């Protein structure tokens, strides 16, 4: 008959063996191949057209550079960041576009979402909901936020593409990451944010949807650009 001491020692040995085996398996299964090394990193400056439909870059609006400490954090997470203001030449309406690309969407370097970044800059997020936009025959999942800083009201539409999948939540982002991980692959990722200054949220979101639809039409002839920007969204 095995005594309590021997039983306890055996249990400890078993646990240690299981832990070591788990650690070895995790190390063996850890993704090592970056998709970005296989298909190349996009050039955001050329991926997003400077002029399309009735939209052009508003050169009268200066690009505000982040503080050095903020820039250092961005450089540690992203390979490329693009910030532009577009103006509709027909109506004079403007949208601000910010794109962040990271070639390594592993646990430690996942994209930072506006509902996290905006409050860090003092904004209040007054609403946050999931929506689906119909753009160029695709159903694009997005998130729509209402943010406020003092008298500045800034409705936001954004989406995230992990590898070839458009996602709207941290859990979906993790699932997309794992989908690649089981094949030994580390996906890249892109966050596209469109916003405008307007107290009228429905009007602002409608403007943003029009910009996004026009962008989708403009790049529709380029399958790679479409997949990079919008992912392989389900057909609408």
User: What is the rounded average pLDDT of the residues 14-22?
Assistant: 48
What CA–CA distance (Å, rounded) separates 190 from 79? 10
Positive or negative, the CA dihedral 57, 51, 100, 113 is: positive
Dump pLDDT digits (tens) for 125-156.
999 999 999 988 889 999 999 999 999 999 99
Direct distance between the N- and C-terminal alpha carbons of the chain, in angstroms, rounded to an integer? 68
Query: Of the ranges 36-40, 44-48, 99-103, which is most confident?
Result: 44-48
What CA–CA distance (Å, rounded) separates 197 from 148? 10
Dump pLDDT digits (tens) for 179-236.
877 888 888 888 999 999 999 999 999 999 999 999 999 999 999 899 999 997 554 4
- Tell me: pLDDT of 61 over 80: no
What is the overall mean pLDDT for the chain?
80
| pTM of the predicted structure, to 2 decimals | 0.79
pLDDT of 7 reads 52
Is the Cβ–Cβ distance between 103 and 79 less than 8 Å? Answer: yes
What are 12's two structure tokens? 């400890």
Helices assigned H by DSSP within the chain: 4-29, 35-39, 44-47, 68-77, 114-120, 170-181, 201-219, 223-230
Is the Cβ–Cβ distance between 190 and 35 less than 8 Å? Answer: no
SS3 108: helix
164 contacts: CB under 8 Å, gap ≥ 6: 227, 231, 232
């Amino acid at each position: 008959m095995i005594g309590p001491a021997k039983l306890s020692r055996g249990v400890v040995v078993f646990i240690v063996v299981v832990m070591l085996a788990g650690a070895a398996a995790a190390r063996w299964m850890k993704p090592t191949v970056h998709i970005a090394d296989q298909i190349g990193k996009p050039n955001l400056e050329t991926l997003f057209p400077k002029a399309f439909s009735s939209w052009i870059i508003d050169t009268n609006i200066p690009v505000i550079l982040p503080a050095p400490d903020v820039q250092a954090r961005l450089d540690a997470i992203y390979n490329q960041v693009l910030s532009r203001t577009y103006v509709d030449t027909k109506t004079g309406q403007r949208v601000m576009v910010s794109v962040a690309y990271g070639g390594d969407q592993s646990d430690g370097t996942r994209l930072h979402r506006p509902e996290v970044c905006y409050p860090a800059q003092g904004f209040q997020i007054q609403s946050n909901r999931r929506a689906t936009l119909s753009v160029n025959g695709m159903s694009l999942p997005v998130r729509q936020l209402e943010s406020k800083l003092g008298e500045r009201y800034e409705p936001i539409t954004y989406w995230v593409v992990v590898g070839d999948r458009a996602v709207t939540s941290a859990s979906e982002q993790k699932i997309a990451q794992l989908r690649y991980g089981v094949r030994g692959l580390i996906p890249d990722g892109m966050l596209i944010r469109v916003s405008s200054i307007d107290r009228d949220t429905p009007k602002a979101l409608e403007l943003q949807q029009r910009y996004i639809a026009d962008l989708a039409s403009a790049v529709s002839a380029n399958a790679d650009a479409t997949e990079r920007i919008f992912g392989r969204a389900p057909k609408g």
